[in-house]
Homo-oligomer: A and B are copies of this chain.
Amino acid sequence: MGQIAFGGDYNPEQWPREVWAEDMRLMRGASVSMVSVGIFSWALVEPRDGEYDFGWFDEVMDNLSRNGIAASLATMTASPPPWLTRKYPEILPVLADGTRMWPGGRQAYCPSSPAFRAHATRLVRLIAERYRDHPALALWHIGNEYGCDTPACYCDLSAEAFRTWLRARYTTVDALNEAWSTKFWSQRYDDFAEVLPPRTVPAFNNPSQQLDFARFSSDEILGCLLAEKAVIRELTPNVPITTNFAGYSHALDLRRWAEELDVVSFDSYPEPFDPRAHVEAGLTYDVYRGARGGQPWLLMEQAPSAVNWRERNAAKEPGQMRLWSWQAVAQGADAIMYFQWRQSRGGAEKFHSAMVPHAGPDTDQHRDIVALGAELASVPEIVGSRPDNDVAVVLDWASWRALELDAHPSSDVQQLDALLAHYAPLFTANIACDVVSPADDLSSYRLVVVPNLYLVSATDAERLTDYVRGGGHLLMSFFSGIVDESDRVHLGGYPAPFRDVLGLRVDEFRPLDAGQVLPVELVGQTGGATLWSERITLEGAEVQGRFTDGSPALTRSEFGDGVAWYLATRPDPELLQTLSEHVAARAGVEPVLTGLPKGVQAARRGDFLFLLNHNPRPSTVDLDRPMTDLLSPGSAPAEHVELVARGVAVLR
């Protein structure tokens, strides 16, 4: 890809032929370089079992290549056609409470269904054979937003697949019993055949069973992708493969999935009503850039303006679509694409904004698209560049899933809240960071932040300990290091695997009531503590912050050549800002740029410095040396950058 790919989902099947010609003309005018095609075309290309109609799609592909537009070619299996689920009703997925899901929406299939998989791969083989040598084919787009609408299935087929998965994981049922602590509540299994998915139960489900079922469900959906990938690799070994993730959730283990892809892509829909939406979006971008070790990623879908699936769907403000697109590029995107090219006339997403709205191209919305397409096309040199960050934030899928199981000290402790709480002050301070797995090599970072790592293996705990021993700085929050991979408590006093490095023991969790705020003082500043407190016995750590009863709220432990901080509560944002900057400064971490006005984001990719004014008013930025704004082609290098409201500069 020689430039930042620009385009969107293209669904010409929804329109008569005369519109197709206009589409091509408009795409050229909008600098569109790539489109995703065929995502929901199964029912059209295979109208009956084993009968195919590819002619119209040939035409679409030919139109694209004739117009120099690359195809991100979908495998067309995102939703089974009605004839398929009528013929094999067992394909229809089932919820934990036994509710069968029906056709009429999308993604109504059980990922473990042999009938679904057989028909899907048969279709994919035909598609790959037909278009393997088509000049438009640039990227395989397997499925679509896997697990978004059907993150798990609890049917009998899924139960059988779950048992197969468990046999592979545990070999013996005794090992499963041990991992699942089934001596509790008379749950001992005498045979794998007795095991079921965690369907609706009286009281609480077995948490280890739930955790394994979450792992299984992610793996099982991945199995659908892998079945298609095998066909594709066989027939087109050199065409890269992606799938577009729907944001990120604990349903799919992104790190595991990313291993199977050549490039990561995903769909990003920040909430325009939220004045801090760009911070949460920035976190998502860093999560995805981290998924394959810093490799640039593709923004496969965003909305030109409003979406349609929220309760109230805000339109974007003027300039906001451009700003947020550039933010994605600044944080690693090599593609800016949309759902969708032309706004649907009917169906469930007809009120989702599009590159060509209902009123047609003679609209501000389309003109904004055209302008951005041209702008992105003007800076091909950005493609492939990467940041080089000193701070890592840890996120682990198994821990996330386990953290949010039932019957914990406080159900208010949620992974994404913790992650965002600790990410936001770094973002605000323009301290760029990577989101990493605890299994990654951390040695290159000056500071590693662990917002929460409830579940940790002995190996990962040792890696984090070694990181500090070797001179790293660690900031870890409460309720980390509590359980092992099977959700069994690490005995010996919380957090057993981190007691040495942190220099303390947590004697009792004291979660706070809903809305309760305790006064707290951290590194000399006072503020409010929320969600959690605990009773700590010091074992070498020094106190750096206290609750009003004098008990420790923040500790600092020198360990080996490094330093480990431990935070026993969730401070309010202002206080956590102070703390984060304090800890970062002591770790020798510097922001991307100092002295930035509030609300202006600075980001680096290779040689490029991006300035993003998230304020609805102009801002002036002082640079430390003269730089040139690539988006103002004729301009001279300057040490001051004037950013309009929601303005962007790409400097070099």
Seen from chain A, the residues whose Cβ lies within 8 Å of a Cβ on chain B are: 11, 13-14, 40-44, 47-48, 76, 78-83, 86, 93, 97-108, 148-150, 180-191, 193-196, 198-209, 273, 305-306, 308-309, 311-315, 343-351, 357-360, 363-365, 406-412, 486-489, 491-494, 505, 507-514, 535
Contact = CB atoms under 8 A, between A and B. Distances in A.
A511 B314 contact: yes
A603 B160 CA distance: 60
A230 to B, nearest CB: 23
A579 B125 CA distance: 64
Given A188-B81, A306-B409, A311-B412, A198 B14 contact: no
A346 B86 contact: no
A236 B238 CA distance: 78
Contacts of A78: 186
A193 B86 contact: yes
A88 to B, nearest CB: 13
A601 B98 CA distance: 51
Contacts of A195: 82
A206 B347 contact: yes
B190 A47 contact: yes
Given A149-B202, A188-B43, A209-B104, A351 B305 contact: no
Nearest to A506: B359
Contacts of A182: 43
Contact of A359 (B80, B190, B493): B493
Contacts of A86: 193-194
Contact of A491 (B196, B358, B410, B412): B358
Contacts of A103: 187, 196, 201
A347 B184 contact: yes
A494 B357 CA distance: 11
A48 B190 contact: yes
Given A104-B196, A186-B43, A187-B104, A407 B348 contact: yes
A93 B199 CA distance: 13
A183 B60 CA distance: 15
B106 A406 contact: no
A348 B184 contact: yes
A82 B510 contact: no
A199 B104 contact: yes
10 contacts: A81-B186, A82-B187, A101-B202, A103-B187, A103-B196, A204-B349, A207-B348, A346-B489, A358-B493, A359-B492
Given A42-B186, A186-B43, A349-B184, A510 B315 contact: yes
Nearest to A309: B407
Contact of A187 (B43, B190, B406): B43
A411 B273 CA distance: 15
A181 B107 contact: no
A350 B494 CA distance: 13
Given A188-B44, A486-B346, A99 B200 contact: yes
A264 to B, nearest CB: 23
A41 B54 CA distance: 62
Given A181-B345, A313-B409, A315-B510, A99 B102 contact: no
Contacts of A48: 190
A202 B152 CA distance: 11
B492 A79 contact: no
A344 B194 contact: no
A346 B488 contact: yes
A97 to B, nearest CB: 5
A104 to B, nearest CB: 5
The 5 closest A-B pairs by CB, nearest first: A181-B346, A105-B201, A184-B347, A149-B202, A359-B493
Contacts of A81: 186-188, 190
A104 B346 contact: no
A52 to B, nearest CB: 13
A185 B14 contact: no
